[in-house]
Chains A and B, each alone.
Chain A
Amino acid sequence: MTVTDAPKLITARFDQDDAYLLSGYEASGGYKALRKALGSSPDAVMAEVKAANIQGRGGAGFPAGTKWGFLPPDISPRYLVVNGDESEPGTYKDRLLLERDPHQLIEGVLIAAFAIAANQAFIYIRGEMPLAHERVANALNEAYAAGYIGRDIMGSGWSIDVVLHWGAGAYIVGEETALIESLEGNRGMPRLKPPFFPAVKGLYMQPTIVNNVETLSNVPWIVNNGGAAFAALGTEESSGTRIFALSGHVRRPGVYEVEMGKTTFRDLIEAPVYGGGIHHGRSLKAFIPGGASAPWFYEEHLDLPLSKPAVDKAGSMLGSGAVVVMDETTCPVRAALRVVRFFAHESCGKCTPCREGTNWLEKIMHRIEEGTGRLDDLDLLLDVSDNLSPGITWPPKQTTICPLGPSAVSPVASSIKRFRDDYLAHIDHGGCTYD
């Protein structure tokens, strides 16, 4: 069992009770990075973030520095939008970062905005997180009062507004273009990329950078310690540390910041300081490595390192850092149905295949779980899946605008592939064989 001695980069203040207050944050070194950044230049900051090679923590895992580099020069206004919509089943990290260390995010936002020369930033927080709203609102007020936000910050001549914005209950709004639509006051329906890459045509069709809460929370550390120091953590293709939410059938479910690449799923699930093993001494049936959208993993994947390329290569993704563990007593049909239900419920309705297909998948799965399944339902499930995600490959192809529709295919295809017998049992037993 390897538990690396990597420092805690972004959860360091989680045990500090007053970290969410400016006093507490400053007491533990807060806003030093901002001062340092403003003292250098946007290009210098950009360079550090590029050097850190930090991959987006929102799901897609795209290198933040590279993304910032896509901004077309001298088109303004340009905007920074913080994605705090955290809604992917299994995912629980951004809420903690917002509630426990809001100033860390704000400092990251300010530095990022400075680097990309934005004069207005929006922090979009999922609607169902009132404590996060209160903590961030208070932190913003403190930061404005302290002169960290506003006009001519610390005499740098650079000015910025940071606006707190709440969602109102729609998972799809986590998708960056839907987030932008939502921020414009519209229905949260994604835009096609291309042509609507946010960096080029984003908020109000202006250049816009959308970054996840965790991604930006790393920026102060990167500026304080240098991109190289961050890159030195983890591995070359997967640098730094990352927060994993470990849930389901483990002894110690929890939120753990671990070093990328050097830690394995087995470490995370079994190490005493992390999951402490499957609960009740049972054995593992399956686990979801990166949030509801990710294809399932099994026993044989336990020793894969927590690194993007490794997991991608094995046919799934680290996604939003959500590891959901299912023990041997779990009904795979019921579990898959529950995940499919989520996507059907959250489809924005824009694309025909997703609007109709996710719903159809749920209906068929439901039938099987309830005992009125038919033998050819398995082929039907796979064919409907194929019409959402042709070839059922990984990474998925899609007949839709955004990946939500195809995401519903992951649990279906995974569970049928691995647990076909369970499905058959449900069908001839006329119901769930696990109750």
Chain B
Amino acid sequence: MGRLNANNVTLAREIISRYPRPKSALIPLLHLAQEQDGWVSDEAMVHIAELLSLTPSEVLGTCSFYEMFKREPVGRNLVNVCTSIACMLVGGDELLEHCEKSLGVTPGATTADGAFTLNEVECIAACTEAPCLQVNYRYFHQITHDEADALFAELRAGGRSDEIPPHGTLTRVRQKIVSQRWAGRGGDGLPEELG
């Protein structure tokens, strides 16, 4: 918990190696930390700063800009209900309201059993499939209130784990890290001593 574990440090080094400049790996590394712990702790940010030879302050500056990085623990399942214009027009607000009732929490809050954190979010690029929501960023298109209830019940019972990994895990398929990095090497505008 906190600092990246050995496997992730190895992975982090591979990721860093793909970019002409290490700092470009900052967002990927923050995702890695969130995948490990479900959220991004201060310890993780300090560790990432070490790996990229940045200051923790620089890491926080970037981390805090992006909404997906949670700097406090969240529920196992992050339920993002879209209420942006396209969804609003066809029932986004009502869907959110229903989820609040059904989960017993207001947006931003986590259920007592730590199973769910509910969020009201802006457009998630499924506008023609409105109303919609995401659980750990997995899409549920044109979802009815009953379907939402069923989904929550299933998740509470530990179902669908193959389809919906715990919060933090975005993708189960990684791009393999190519060994040869002739591209982008050098010439990235920095005097090599600093590069």
Interface residues of A (CB under 8 A from B): 76-77, 79, 86-92, 94-95, 119-120, 126-131, 133-134, 136-138, 140-141, 144, 150-151, 159-161, 163-171, 182-188, 204-206, 245-249, 253-255, 288, 292, 322, 324-326, 330, 334-335, 338-339, 341-342, 345-346, 348
Contact = CB atoms under 8 A, between A and B. Distances in A.
Contact of B89 (A87, A94, A335): A335
A86 B127 CA distance: 12
Nearest to B171: A133
B127 A245 contact: yes
B161 interface: no
A119 B85 CA distance: 40
Given A129-B125, A141-B175, A164-B175, A324 B89 contact: yes
A87 B84 CA distance: 11
Contact of A159 (B90, B139, B183): B183
B154 to A, nearest CB: 19
B84 A245 contact: no
Nearest to A163: B18
A338 B171 CA distance: 31
Given A165-B28, A253-B127, 8 more contacts: A89-B122, A128-B68, A129-B137, A150-B178, A188-B66, A247-B128, A253-B129, A338-B83
A166 B168 CA distance: 13
A93 to B, nearest CB: 8
Interface stretch (B2-10, B103-111, B184-192): B184-192
Contacts of A129: 125, 137
Interface of B: 18-21, 23-28, 30-31, 52, 61-62, 65-69, 80, 83-86, 88-90, 122-130, 134, 137-139, 170-176, 178, 180-184, 187-190
A431 B171 CA distance: 45
Contact of A168 (B66, B134, B184): B66
A188 B123 CA distance: 18
B44 to A, nearest CB: 14
Q: Which of A119, A150, A247 has the most CB of B within 10 A?
A: A247
Contacts, number: 197
Contact of A130 (B80, B85, B137, B180): B137
Contacts of A77: 20, 183-184, 187-188
Given A89-B127, A137-B175, A184-B23, A205 B122 contact: no
Contacts of B188: 77, 204, 206
8 contacts: A151-B180, A167-B27, A204-B21, A204-B188, A204-B189, A335-B89, A341-B122, A342-B85
Nearest to A411: B85
Contacts of B122: 87, 89, 171, 341-342, 345-346
Given A150-B180, A338-B84, A169 B66 contact: yes
Contact of B127 (A92, A165, A185, A342): A92
B176 A134 contact: no
Nearest to B177: A163
Contacts of B134: 128
Given A127-B68, A134-B172, A326 B89 contact: yes
A245 B84 CA distance: 15
Contacts of B26: 185
Nearest to A134: B173
Given A92-B126, A128-B137, A253-B130, A338 B184 contact: no
Contact of A188 (B65, B90, B184): B65
Contacts of A167: 27, 66
A166 B18 contact: no
Contacts of B189: 204-206
Contacts of B67: 168-170
Contacts of A204: 20-21, 188-190
B160 to A, nearest CB: 14
A128 B124 contact: yes
Contacts of A90: 85-86, 123, 127
Contacts of A182: 27
Contacts of A325: 89
A247 B18 CA distance: 39
A59 B72 CA distance: 35
Closest A-B pairs by Cβ, 7 of them: A169-B67, A168-B66, A185-B26, A185-B23, A169-B68, A247-B127, A119-B183
Contact of A339 (B23, B30, B85, B130): B85
Contacts of A170: 65-67
